[in-house]
Amino acid sequence: MIHDLETLKYPIGKFTIPHLVEQDGVMTAIVSIAALPKALFEVVSPLTPAQLERPYRLGGWTVRQLLHHCADSHGQALFRFKHALTEENPSIKAYDEGAWAQLPDYQLPAADALETIRLVHARWVHLLYSMSPADFNRTYYHPEKQRTQTLTEVTLMYAWHGNHHLAHISGLIDRKFDL
């Protein structure tokens, strides 16, 4: 079966920066971030070790790698939020996601990544719920993107990011692991 590469890469579409975000939109994003660990666990826990080693698309990461990527990426997000909340427009450290996915810790069990995601999200969501509307206007500078981002934008982006990778895994399962 042939699948559209763009749809496989972006099953929920590409992230777009909204022009105007209401507080309800931020709260919806926080709820989505809070729900991700359980949603990932529910989708991934029935999978066999062989299924965890399947890429979500030809040339893509395996399910296990996606989970470790989410653990790393969302851990970075937590620390970027802390920097932005305690410094004036700090420049964050970018990292090579593809190179990180080749490191030996990505061979650890998927359960390790799921536990990391659960713990990171527990702290991050607590922080998000404690933030004031003014806090969401705080910023950091992203050197790869060469622009400043508000924590509102970043909150929406990471809600999308989690759902994006959840859709990669769910889509693979729905296709019965057919690439």
Q: Which amino acid is at 34?
A: A
Instruction: Name the percent of the chain lying above pLDDT 70.
Output: 97
Model confidence pLDDT, tens digit, residues 1-52 = 556 888 999 999 999 887 767 778 899 999 999 999 999 999 999 999 999 9
95 by DSSP, 3-state: which?
Answer: coil
Q: Which amino acid is at 74?
A: H
Specify whether the CB–CB gap between 137 and 122 falls below 8 A. no
Model confidence pLDDT, tens digit, residues 127-142 = 999 999 999 999 999 9
User: What confidence score (pLDDT) does residue 179 get?
Assistant: 59
Close Cβ partners of 52 (under 8 Å, ≥ 6 residues apart): 44, 62, 63, 64, 110
132 by DSSP, 3-state: which?
Answer: coil
Least Cα distance to 90 among 98, 99, 81 occurs for 81
Q: CA dist 178 to 53, 55, 65, 157, Å?
A: 13, 10, 18, 29
Going along the chain from its start, the domains and CATH numbers come out as: 37-174 (1.20.120.450)
User: What confidence score (pLDDT) does residue 18 get?
Assistant: 78
